[in-house]
Amino acid sequence: MQFYSTNRKVAPVSFKEAVIKGLPDDNGLFLPEKIPSFSDDFLNQLSKKSFQEIAFESAKLIIEDEIGDNDLHSIINDAFDFEIPVKNVHDNIHVMELFHGPTLAFKDFGARFMARVMGYFLKEDGREINILVATSGDTGSAVAQGFLGVEGIKVTLLYPKGKVSKIQEQQLTTIGQNITALEVDGTFDDCQLLVKTAFLDKELNEKLNLSSANSINIARLLPQSFYYTYAFSRLNRKEEDVYFCVPSGNYGNLCGGLLAKKMGLPISGFIAASNANDIVPHYLNAGRFAPKPSVQTIANAMDVGNPSNFVRMLELYDNDFAKITSDIKGISFDDSQAEDIIREVHGKYGYLMCPHTAIGYGGLKHFLKPEDTGVFLSTAHPCKFKDVVEPLISEEIEIPLRLKAIIEKKKHAISMNKDFVGFKSFLLEQSI
C-alpha cells in the first residue's frame, strides 16, 4: 500500500516512510491511496472476535506485508493489553470507555501502537529520530508513556501554559529519560503551528530526523479505527441503525471512525460534538470552514481552533459537502451545558463523565432517534478533571494508584514563548 499526501505535491511513500516522516514535505497529511474493504466473512464473524483479532485483521488490510504477521501480532498484543468496555448507560444509548490504558485517555490506543510500529521500523534501519508533539492535554502523556525508553527516539512535548489540567500537566512533565516537556506561552494552536513550521524548515530537516506523534501521523490514525469496529461487534442490536458520537478537537478520532466506515463497517452515521471551539460543527451546519483562535474551556483537549484532520475528512469524501453532511452531523456545547450534562447523567443514571465525554453524550442524545442505537466515546477518566467534576456531583473522585504517584512528583518543564526562532534554536542545541 502506498500513502499519498493530501496536498498531492510529493510522490506517494510506503507505510514505513509515512510513519517515520509523520508529515509529507508539502505539508499535507498521509492517507492510503486505496481504502481496502473488509470481507463479508470478517463482518459476519465480528461478534466472535477479540479486540486484538479485529485490530490485526484491520491493520493487515492497510499495512499489507510491511510488517510480518508474527511481528504485527506482537505489536498489537503488547499495545492493547487493557480492556475496552462497551456499556449501556440507559435505553438505546451506550458508551465505549477508551480510558483504561496507562494514561487513562483514548490517546493510549494511537500512541502505544505508533511507538511500537516506529520502534520496529527504526530497529530495522538503525536510524535515530526526534519526535515533536503538540498537545492540548492527553496526547502528550500518552505519547510520552508510549515512547518512554524506546531506543533511538527523542520526544519533545509542547503544551500551552495554564491550559491543561493539573493532573495532565504532571503526566507531561514528570517523565524524564528521553522525554522533554516545553511549556509554551500560548494556545494549543500556537504549539501545533510551531511543530508544523519545524517540519517545513530546511535546516532542521537536514540536521534532525523529525517525525510527529500527533494525530497527523498515520500510525496514530489507524488504531483509532479499530475500536469502532470492536464496539459495533459488541452491541446487542437487531436491524436498527448504529450511530457514533465523537467528542472532537483535532478530529483524528472521528477520522478513525470514518476510515472504518469507508472500509465497510455498516455505521449509519457520526456526530461530531465539540466545545465552544465549534469550527467543524459550524462547517457542517453552514458549509463554511473558518478557523479562528481557540478559546479555553473545561474540555481542554478539544480547545483547537484549526483542526489538522479536517483535510482528511474532506479527502475521505472527495471534498463533497453533500456526502460529508449525509454521514456526519455537528453540534457544540459551552461549558455550562457540559456541566449540566455531567450533573444530569450522574444524578439520573449513576454514570460519571469527564467534560469531553459529557459533550459526546450530549451530542448523541440530541440527534439519536428512539428506534436507533447509539454509542458515545468516553475519552478520558473523570479523575483527570477532578477540579471540574467533583463540585458538580458533590462527591470525591477516587484517583487510580498509577496517577497518585505522578501527582507527587516534581514538575520538569522548559518555558518557551510561541516564537519559532527560539523553538528552532532549542531544537538545534539539543541535537549537538
What does DSSP say about strands 2-5 and 30-32: parallel, antiparallel, or unpaired? antiparallel
| DSSP conformation class of 275 | S
- The candidate with the shortest Cα–Cα distance to 244, out of 135, 333, 367, is 367
Q: Coil, helix or strand for 197? A: helix
Q: How far apart are the first and last CA of the chain?
A: 37
Q: Which helix (H) or strand (E) holds 16?
A: helix 15-21
Q: Is 262 a catalytic residue?
A: no
Sign of the dihedral through C-alpha 364, 376, 167, 397: positive
How many CA atoms lie within 13 Å of 428's alpha carbon, on the beta-carbon side?
13
Residues 309 and 353: beta-carbon distance below 8 Å: no
CA 87 – CA 389 distance, rounded (Å): 21
Choice among 16, 21, 107, 329 that is catalytic: 107
Q: What is the 3-state secondary structure (H, E, C) of 341-359?
A: HHHHHHHHHCCCCCHHHHH
How many CA atoms lie within 13 Å of 351's alpha carbon, on the beta-carbon side?
19
Positions annotated as catalytic residues are 107
